[in-house]
Amino acid sequence: MNKPLKYAVFGAGSWATAIVKMLCENLDEIGWYMRSIYTKEHLLREQHNPNYLSSVEFHLEQLKLSNDINEMATWADILIFVIPSAFIHSELEKLTVDISKKTVVSAVKGIVPESGLLVGEHFNEKYKVPFENIAVIAGPCHAEEVALERLSYLTISCWDSKKAQQIADSLSSDYIKTKISDDVIGIEYGVMLKNIYAIAAGIAHGLGYGDNFQSILMSNAIREMKRYIKRVHKMKRNINNSAYLGDLLVTGYSTFSRNRMFGNMIGKGYTVKSAQMEMSMVAEGYYATKSAYLINQNNEKKAETPIIDAVYAILYENKNPKKVFKKLTDLLD
């Protein structure tokens, strides 16, 4: 009889905490790597993450906690990485064990800045993990609603449908509905791009644009996402599926969206640095904007991306948000 596969989550933010909670609905033991010794000790003492989703209480007998990334990578069969893209490279540099035969799951919403690669591509190129052993978790799903056990939806994408279904089953519950997909690259790009569009939605709100414009912005955003993903990875996909459009809408409209919050602050006149200092969580879309913009610029056949270009101009070229969005309104339909 085959032994049950061991799952480990790497990261201690809100989304990592939510994924551990989901796994606890189905598994007897879950590995959890966190960099902070304080967070680990607090969890052992108080049974909850001190910094994120502190209302979620864990049964400690289900958790195998560690501050040693190599110990956890050795112990587990399925490694779920939920470390922000801006920091994942420095954390992975601590790895000394071979993970090439493990199943790696990316719940990271962005591109690795140091390599310019999608997280899945990074694991394939740098750590020799075969593409059929790489999966991606997409929404639409906010960690805060998982904590409240509100009905939420996930898409698990992997070229190996059996692995995708296995991971999906380990995450599903009465309040988590799951489906699987084989569009690993497209969904990973979608997960990255929707954060940029959420920043745009936030900037628009901060500038005083209303619901009418927001609807036009989101309508244009999903078409822009379709053009962009088609350029970088052409295959048959329905961009209106929940992993693309649904995830875009929840990230663009929800009050839980840190990227929308970040954009809102920029629209209200905060500098990038002051907005980042004000927020307790990482806005992945800030880093994604630069990566997405440069990837498109370096593509022989560039996709038409007025929204990404506008956000890039504001965040990285210090352009005036009001003037940039005034021009953008003339490009949208």
172 C-beta neighbours (distance < 10 Å), count: 17
Mean pLDDT on 228-252: 92
Q: What is the mean pLDDT of the chain?
A: 94
Rounded mean pLDDT, 124-139 = 95
- Coil, helix or strand for 321? helix
Distances from the Cα of 136 to the Cαs of 119, 168, 208, in angstroms? 9, 11, 36
Residue 310: other Cβ atoms inside 10 A: 24
pLDDT (mean) for 183-210? 96
In this structure, are residues 179 and 168 in contact, taking their beta carbons and an 8 Å threshold?
yes
- Using the predicted structure, report yes or no on whether residue 1 has a pLDDT greater than 60: no
Tally of residues, the chain: 333
Contact 190, 243 (CB under 8 A): yes
Active site residue 194: yes
The stretch 238-242 carries a mean pLDDT of 91
CB atoms within 10 A of CB 330: 8
180 pairs with which residues across the strands? 156
CA distance 44 to 238: 44
- Tell me if 259 is assigned to a ligand binding site: yes
Q: Is 227 annotated as a binding residue?
A: no
* Predicted TM-score of the model (pTM): 0.92
Q: Does 143 belong to an annotated binding site?
A: yes
216: CB partners within 8 A, 6+ apart = 332, 333
Name the architecture of domain 7-182. 3-Layer(aba) Sandwich (3.40)
pLDDT score at 115? 87
State the pLDDT at residue 241: 92
Please write the tens of the pLDDT for every residue from 7-28. 999 999 999 999 999 999 999 9
Of the residues 179, 194, 268, 302, which is catalytic?
A: 194
Q: Does residue 266 surpass a pLDDT of 90?
A: yes
Residue 88, CA distances (Å) to 11, 27, 91 in order: 9, 26, 5
Write the CA distances from 76 to 20, 34, 80, 81, integer angstroms: 14, 15, 10, 12
For residue range 158-186, what is the model confidence (pLDDT) as tens digits? 999 999 999 999 999 999 999 999 999 99
What's the one-letter identity of residue 273? K
Task: Give the model's pLDDT for residue 111.
Answer: 86
Q: What is the signed CA dihedral for 101, 105, 106, 112, rounded to 10 degrees?
A: 0
Domain residue ranges in the chain: 7-182, 186-329
The reply to whether 296 sits in an annotated binding site is no
Q: Is 195 within any annotated ligand binding site?
A: no
Quick: pLDDT tens for 53-85: 999 999 999 999 999 999 999 999 999 999 988
> In the prediction, which pLDDT does 206 show?
97
CATH label, 186-329, candidates 1.10.1040.10, 3.20.20.70, 3.40.50.300, 3.60.20.40: 1.10.1040.10
Give Cβ neighbours of residue 252 (< 8 Å, ≥ 6 apart). 194, 197, 198, 201, 214, 217, 218, 221, 260
Place of tokens 């085959």: 2
Query: pLDDT (tens digit, 9 = 90+) per residue, 274-305?
Result: 998 888 777 889 989 999 999 999 988 899 99
pLDDT of 110: 81
